[in-house]
Amino acid sequence: STLAVSRPGDPPDKRVFTVGRPIGETEVRVTGDDGEDLPPESVGEIRVRGPGVMRGYFRQPRETAAATDARGYLRTGDIGMVDEAGYLHLLGRREDVIIRGGTNVHAREVEDRLLAHPAVERSAVVGIADEILGEAICACVVRIEGGIVTGNEIRSWCAATLADYKVPDLVTFMEELPLTATGKVWRREVARRVVAERPDRPEGEREDLLDD
């Protein structure tokens, strides 16, 4: 069901970069890892409640308890925020969060920055196991036809607008990204290929950049 919409009178940036504001009696809250409400502009899990939202699974109390919270809000598994004006921003899925050095990095935010580069056609950002950071950020990039860009240039491009801890630790280039049957980027397969194709390194040496 439709839970939020943009309207003709909304500012252009809100129509393009948000999913709009909740409609009717739909209630949206953004919560932290502890399930408590977060203030506007804070990123967390989106939870919804209202006439168009399911209340649970028929005769499946265990599944219902896992899908909803004590206040009857559906745990969507989506990561996002509500801005000061009440517009809802979607940043990705909970499982797409990379925990780098104990800090959450949302893959969608980094991917959006990569896609703004004129030489980038598609991108996928995944977490790769790292002895120091726990997870390192790997940017997998498909260049446009004839596009020329290096890994260092990609990192500099990201560093211009993203916080330091969100800048990719690794950059690798692919001819195409693996997709699921529904046409979405198959992140698990992307990560598997990156790990499989990484060059051997001396024990204890950390790789800072892949620039294939």
Find the CATH number of the domain harbouring 80.
2.30.38.10
Q: Could you tell me if 87 and 122 lie in one domain?
A: no
Q: Could you tell me if 33 and 8 lie in one domain?
A: yes
Q: Could you tell me if 158 and 72 lie in one domain?
A: no
Residue 209 in domain: no
Residue 202 in domain: no
Q: Could you tell me if 68 and 148 lie in one domain?
A: no
pTM: 0.69
Euclidean distance between CA atoms 205 and 200, whole angstroms: 10
Q: Could you tell me if 85 and 125 lie in one domain?
A: no
- Give residue 147's identity as a one-letter amino acid code: G
Residue 212 in domain: no
108, pLDDT greater than 70: yes
Per-residue pLDDT of 166-189, as tens digits, reads 999 999 999 999 999 999 899 989
Contact status, residue 189 vs residue 178, Cβ threshold 8 Å: yes
Residue 77 in domain: yes
> Structurally, how many domains does the chain consist of?
2
Contact status, residue 172 vs residue 138, Cβ threshold 8 Å: yes
Taking residues 130-135, report their average pLDDT: 93
In a 3-state reduction of DSSP, which class is residue 207? coil
Residue 80 lies in domain? 4-94
Residue appearing with tokens 């390192």: 136
Residue 208 in domain: no
